Amino acid sequence: MICLNKVIVSLAVTCGAVFGLSFGASAADKTVTFAYQDMMTPIRVLMESGKLESETGYKIKWLKFGGGGDVIRAMSSGDVDVGEAGSSPVAAAASQGLPIKLFWILDDIANAEQLVVRKDSGIKTIADLKGKTVAVPFVSTSHYQLMYALSEAGLSSKDVKLLNMRPPEIAAAWERGDIDATFIWAPVLDVAKKSGTVIASAGDFAAKGKATFDGIIATDKFAGANKEFMTKFVTLLAAADADYAKNGVSWTPDSPEVRAVAKWTGANAADVPAGMAAYKFPTLTEQASAAWLGGGAAKALQSTAEFLKEQGRVSEVAPDYAAFVTDEYVKAAK
């Protein structure tokens, strides 16, 4: 979800030229490097359980990243095989032609990302952000939503002091009082909300056709060489989401599921139940539908890419974003 500026994208393109030669894991060594972030989703319980390792025989190297832009950069350099990224970084990577595939919708962001302002800032509406200091991870889904919000209020990025920060940096800046507002996700969102006021949510803009999501992407080389692993991974992801849908009400701060989410994300266990409730998790059937991997995700990526081009973050919009999305594994999963 974060920090993928034009320079980084250009470097990614250069690295992408040698993608096919540099990528890591193969079926022979049965090792996969997975880049994850701090979103509070059911996959954290799967990670804690060790089921992916035990049921596939693969060794999983779990690496935590500050955002999707960093994940994309690591994938382009050959350090990561599979990773989590928001729709904005995925759109940026696809626009540059990087050989990746979106194969799972980790979450529909819905109201899990919000615009929070300091209570003493005098900000009551989005228009009041004029002249204020606002922090957001650039080229993240939050950045996409923030720029749409500013535009709708008759403002541009030049009307605010916009700072490009990773989530931990935003948390520290908020605690110091260095910023007036931030559009961010949990657990940093929970930190900001304790002394701030929410004036807009990603869900507000999704209702206006600007939906955002987090997904899991794989390099073409890894996915092509490890199809059985990919299908089993998706099967386990679907099972984790289904368990949350069925039993989520019992996921209390003291439950092992919530403790697992807190452990892997760094969130306060007390904040996890509400944080997870803000997301929507598409079922296996919904994943394969026209709303998501069957067409909707590609449309969302194109819309996001058009925004990124307007912002000068990518130079071109790809002719077909469906080329970067696959429903192969959700259809094969049982």
Domains of the chain: 6-109+212-332 (3.40.190.10), 113-206 (3.40.190.10)
pLDDT digits (tens, 9 = 90+) for 250-283: 999 999 999 999 999 999 999 999 999 999 999 9
pLDDT at 6 over 70: no
- pLDDT tens digits, residue range 19-50? 433 334 444 579 999 999 999 999 999 999 99
Side-chain-side CA neighbours of 245 within 13 Å: the count stands at 12
Residue-wise pLDDT for 149-208, tens only, equals 999 999 999 999 999 999 999 999 999 999 999 999 999 999 999 999 999 999 898 888
CA distances to 10, 23, 98, 116 from 7, rounded to whole Å, are 5, 22, 15, 29
- What's the confidence (pLDDT) of residue 13? 41
Provide the pLDDT for residue 15. 41
257, 216 contact by CB (below 8 A):
no
**Torsion angle defined by CA atoms of residues 286, 292, 293 and 299, in that order, rounded to the nearest 10 degrees:** 170
Split at pLDDT 50, 70, 90, the class of 312 is confident
Using the predicted structure, report yes or no on whether residue 12 has a pLDDT greater than 50: no
**pLDDT value of residue 210:** 83
Q: Average model confidence (pLDDT) for the chain?
A: 91
Strand pairing category for 161-164 and 133-136: parallel
User: What's the distance, CA 127 to chain centroid?
Assistant: 27
**pTM, entire model:** 0.83
